[in-house]
Amino acid sequence: MHKERAIARHEVREIEQRHTMDGPRQDTVLDEEDDMVIIYNRVPKTASTSFTNIAYDLCAKNKYHVLHINTTKNNPVMSLQDQVRFVKNITSWKEMKPGFYHGHISYLDFAKFGVKKKPIYINVIRDPIERLVSYYYFLRFGDDYRPGLRRRKQGDKKTFDECVAEGGSDCAPEKLWLQIPFFCGHSSECWNVGSRWAMDQAKYNLINEYFLVGVTEELEDFIMLLEAALPRFFRGATELYRTGKKSHLRKTTEKKLPTKQTIAKLQQSDIWKMENEFYEFALEQFQFIRAHAVREKDGDLYILAQNFFYEKIYPKSN
């Protein structure tokens, strides 16, 4: 066993050396456009698969790489040593640049690791109760994306309403605490359910560390803004989304909408109030960015052309 592990380790080291030392592109300096990495640290059940499918569909045409970050048991918190590996990979893996990385991991601050250039973070969030309902049924019935896959709670026919009425653990308010810690990150306090500090940190990160955060309910506008701002990756994305709307969206099967009573019960909890405050904060910020980037004409949105220029440039060149 030890011998096998030693051989495997040796092979990994050889591959790493090949990529870093003798790699043909080691000395090549990537131009600004290509030396770019986007991280989409997806929150589960926020239409993330629909969006990543667009990234996959465009990567060959727009010449970038897409990589899925698959963590053991979908754990969103990485060990310290894995954080170092991850930061090193993303920063120095030139063969994979420009790169689009996606996975269910919480926000990681690259500045802590002394890197010269940080990646661009983007994300999408969803109304917290709708996200929980979607996740609840997804665990029981799966979706139309991988219909044959057996899900964790398969066979449990209890509706979300019944779960809330009985005070079940799968629909408990604690299960709403997910979008805040995903944006808050790798600190202990982020995962303390109901922490006001965590919510404030999540808001801070959303404003200061994320390039753009969209909402599931307005996914098309999110894609449209990304295409306008980061065409190197997203050229053609809006058109692709519009034409393939049906095929891109995975549907959680057997989903029943919760009753007003169920929603009212969940809304009494402080956890919902905080997750909802964070969601409203993100929504307002997204709408603010959109309002300054588009104009509306006959019910359609159009991206604004460049609205600034340079003048009074001195000294005058001959």
Q: What is the pLDDT of residues 57-71, one digit of tens each?
A: 999 999 999 999 999
pLDDT attached to residue 146: 52
pLDDT attached to residue 253: 57
pLDDT attached to residue 141: 78
pTM: 0.86
pLDDT band at 24 (very low <50, low <70, confident <90, very high): very low
Which residues are 65's β-sheet partners? 99
Q: Does domain 37-303 have CATH number 3.30.300.20?
A: no
102 assigned to active site: yes
Q: Which of 2, 104, 186, 292 is catalytic?
A: 104
Predicted confidence (pLDDT) per residue in 75-122, tens digit: 999 999 999 999 999 999 999 999 999 999 999 999 999 999 999 999
Predicted confidence (pLDDT) per residue in 146-197, tens digit: 545 554 555 578 899 999 999 999 999 999 999 999 999 999 999 999 999 9
Q: Which of 10, 102, 186, 248 is catalytic?
A: 102
19 assigned to active site: no
